[in-house]
Amino acid sequence: MTSPAKPSEPVCGFDLEHSWTEAWDFSRPLNFNHGSMGFTPRVVLARQEEISRRINAGREEFVREGGFSQLDDARKALAAFVGADENNLVLTANVTESINSVLKSLTFAPGDEVLVTNHIYVNYPALIDECARRQGFQVVKAEIPYRLKAEDDVIAPIMAGVTAATRLAIVDHISSPTAMIFPVARLVKALGEKGVDCFIDGAHAPGQVDIDLEILGAAYYGGNNHKWLCAPLSSGFLYVRPDRQAEIMPAVGSGYATAAHDFITRFSWQGVIDFVPRLMIPDTLRAMHDMHPAGWDGIYRRNHALAAAARRLLCERLGLAAPVPENMIGSMFTLPLGPIQFPPEEMEKSPLHRGYDALVKSHGFGAIFSQFGDDYIVRVTAHLYNKLSDYEALADALAAFIKDHQS
Ligand SMILES: Cc1ncc(COP(=O)(O)O)c(C=O)c1O
């Protein structure tokens, strides 16, 4: 390993060598993959255990004596955090539940189109194609380049995909394979002017960037709490604008999932589930806020500064060019690794696992990889437990990986 990166200018009072690593427990020495499932800090896990134990001591009592109002308080706390009116946001297990609820509730006329992009999360094309087959809509894909200079390069292909038949556009807030911040405010406005509703996939946005859902004004927004907010697993939400709420039912509904009930009530009882991840939302928001003296705003600014510095470091060390401008990344970024070739036996694995396993084998830590068009790309994340010199170790690991897999 080479010498650690030089301490940089302070961001919100800390240089980028300061980290909060001791607040988390990890099985690997370094982590650059916050994006897959997030990581919950120790203090929140301890509280989760305590609440779990309390509920288990009397499950019926919990539900009958205040459990509902605690769940509703958690929902309202999250709504306030993401700038949503409390009547417009419900809790779900994850974005997958949120997008299923929306897509499977909507009715389509023959010939209706749903617009998606090539930066969509890997599991959703199959889901959307299956909905299209059952519900009778056509899927249209906008091709957004991987290397681009400005937000307009995202907006133009999406708007070019709109036709008179476009009913809905499914657009990322921060894309999964390419880690790009999409200009969602501009997109919601431009698409709205063409009469097209948006489902914004915000799996990666809460906790990475400040969000105000009422100002954004999208018809539908699905978010995850278990990624960048660091909440326990199985915690997400769905925002639906008031003029679209009548149509939307939970993907998994129970006795309240009827047209006779309002949007919030429909999602209030989806059968017996583990209530604890939802109850943990206020504790998580507070615990994370309290870690940084400047609260969540300090976390956004510090993690973005670290991601930007790490990207510069990796580009310099590996001789790579960043694919998007710095204002289009939050706390994660991707880099194209050039022509990469794997031995035939590795080709049976998914593109993600090929690179991940190679890094773990050679250096004891992983990062997420994907094949995007002709590019084999690595996705790298920065959270409070990372510091700038961590990325020196990643640069060493990626340099060795590129050398070993050059075609
Ligand atoms: C952009 C995006 N959308 C949706 C998802 C699905 O999230 P979940 O499995 O929590 O529903 C992911 C997961 O990584 C994602 O990256």
CA distance 334 to 378: 5
Are 276 and 338 found together in one domain? Answer: no
Residue 310 lies in a domain: yes
183: left (phi over 0), alpha (psi -120 to 50) or beta: beta
Which residues form the domain of 377? 21-40+295-404
Which letter, b or e, does each residue of 26-60 get, where b requires 16 or more Cβ atoms within 10 Å of its Cβ?
A: eeeebbbbbbeebbbbebbeebbeebbeebeeeee
Q: What is the domain-level CATH number for residue 263? A: 3.40.640.10
3-state secondary structure (DSSP) of residue 163? coil
Are 249 and 353 found together in one domain? Answer: no
Radius of gyration of the chain (CA): 22
Q: Are 111 and 165 in contact (CB under 8 A)?
A: yes
Ligand 1 centre from 129 Cα, in Å?
17
Among 277, 182, 185, residue whose Cα is nearest residue 227? 277
**How many of the other CB atoms lie within 10 Å of CB of 19?**
20
Are 35 and 79 found together in one domain? Answer: no
Among 31, 28, 35, 23, residue whose Cα is nearest residue 227? 35
**Which among 286, 315, 342 is the end of a domain?**
286
Q: Name the DSSP class of 58.
A: -
pLDDT one digit per residue (tens) for the chain, 407 residues:
444 455 567 888 899 999 999 999 999 999 999 999 999 999 999 999 999 999 999 999 999 999 999 999 999 999 999 999 999 999 999 999 999 999 999 999 999 999 999 999 999 999 999 999 999 999 999 999 999 999 999 999 999 999 999 999 999 999 999 999 999 999 999 999 999 999 999 999 999 999 999 999 999 999 999 999 999 999 999 999 999 999 999 999 999 999 999 999 999 999 999 999 999 999 999 999 999 999 999 999 999 999 999 999 999 999 999 999 999 999 999 999 988 999 898 899 998 999 999 999 999 999 999 999 999 999 999 999 999 999 999 999 999 999 999 87
Are 233 and 190 found together in one domain? Answer: yes
Which residues' Cβ are closer than 6 Å to ligand 1?
A: 36, 94-96, 121, 172, 176, 201, 203-204, 224
Closest ligand 1 atom, residue 98 Cα: 11
Are 176 and 92 found together in one domain? Answer: yes
